[in-house]
Amino acid sequence: MDKGVPLFWYQLFVGLGVLMFSHLAWGSPTGLNNIPTTDIVSKDVLVLQSWLNMAANEHTQQFIGFKYGALKDVEVGVDWKANDRTHGHAMFQAKYAFDIRGDAWRGVIGVAGLSDNREHNGDYFPYAATSLNLEVFKLHFGFAPEPHNERFFGGIDKTVTFLDRNLQLRADAIHINDKEDTLFSVGFLYELGAKAGADRGPKNGPAGLLSTLMQNMILESWVSMPSTGDKETYTIKLNYVIPF
């Protein structure tokens, strides 16, 4: 890498390349699989996101987006559908998280899905949620008074170390169809960069470049299972984290 090029701009260029060419998909508020939580992007951190949703015999939905820690405990973001039969319109989100009793018990209020076209993107999604860190695992619970589709949601996550990297196991559930049915999901989040103090691999050459890129990447994947008996949806998501 040219030493005259600031690391931030180098990372931004690579991150945009990941979004443009990886053919993964979507951005959203920080949370578990299908629910927002009190977790939030740190101040002055940009997360580029790309993910896709896949179901048997269905057209793959592709999304791209980003989220940003605009202020302490404030996250904003934009995402849009990049490849599907229906034209995509940008969707905006914002959330504010706060301590109720230190890091052990937190709350959040926010809104997602703000768009100029409700016909394609549906109604906006306001929500309030809380989390309780029991150290062994973390619990999440919230309510979303979405117009014509009010819903409760909850989830659980547990972070362990796997190959010197953080692996978060997670599951959640959220009401759908105005609380008549439930969407369940299970999945994981894996930080591809090694934890501080661990061996981060080669420093030079192609292998060193790959190691540097992976240090800022987070992989997520999960399966969503509606109680209606409809098809399961599989999601693969890549995040590229850029601290300013």
**Nearest-CA neighbor of 106 among 86, 77, 129, 122?**
129
Residue 118: inside a domain: yes
Q: What CA–CA distance (Å, rounded) separates 186 from 198? A: 28
Q: What is the CATH number of the domain that holds 173?
A: 2.40.160.40
Q: What is the rounded average pLDDT of the residues 180-191? A: 96
Q: Which helix (H) or strand (E) holds 181?
A: strand 181-191
Residue 2: inside a domain: no
- pLDDT > 90: percent of the chain: 55
What pLDDT is stored for residue 61 in this prediction?
Answer: 84
Residue 229: inside a domain: yes
pLDDT greater than 50 at residue 140 = yes
pLDDT 10s digits, 10-44: 454 444 444 433 332 234 799 999 999 999 999 99
Q: Encoding tokens for residue 8?
A: 């931030």
Where is pLDDT greater, at 14 or 203?
Answer: 203
What pLDDT is stored for residue 217 in this prediction?
Answer: 94
What pLDDT is stored for residue 15 in this prediction?
Answer: 46
Where is pLDDT greater, at 188 or 89?
Answer: 188
- Paired strand residues for 101: 103, 105
CB 102, CB 87: distance < 8 Å = no
CB 194, CB 232: distance < 8 Å = no
Residue 78: inside a domain: yes
Least confident of 48-57, 109-118, 132-141, 182-191: 109-118
What pLDDT is stored for residue 163 in this prediction?
Answer: 92
The number of domains in the chain is: 1
Q: What is the pTM of this model?
A: 0.83
pLDDT 10s digits, 56-115: 888 888 888 999 999 999 999 999 888 765 556 788 999 999 999 998 999 999 999 887
pLDDT greater than 80 at residue 145 = yes
Residue 120: inside a domain: yes
Q: Could you list the residue range(s) of the whole structural domain that residue 45 is in?
A: 7-243
Q: What is the rounded average pLDDT of the residues 117-131? A: 81
What pLDDT is stored for residue 20 in this prediction?
Answer: 39
Residue 49: inside a domain: yes
Residue 184: inside a domain: yes
pLDDT greater than 50 at residue 45 = yes
CB 105, CB 85: distance < 8 Å = no
Least confident of 104-113, 205-214, 224-233: 205-214
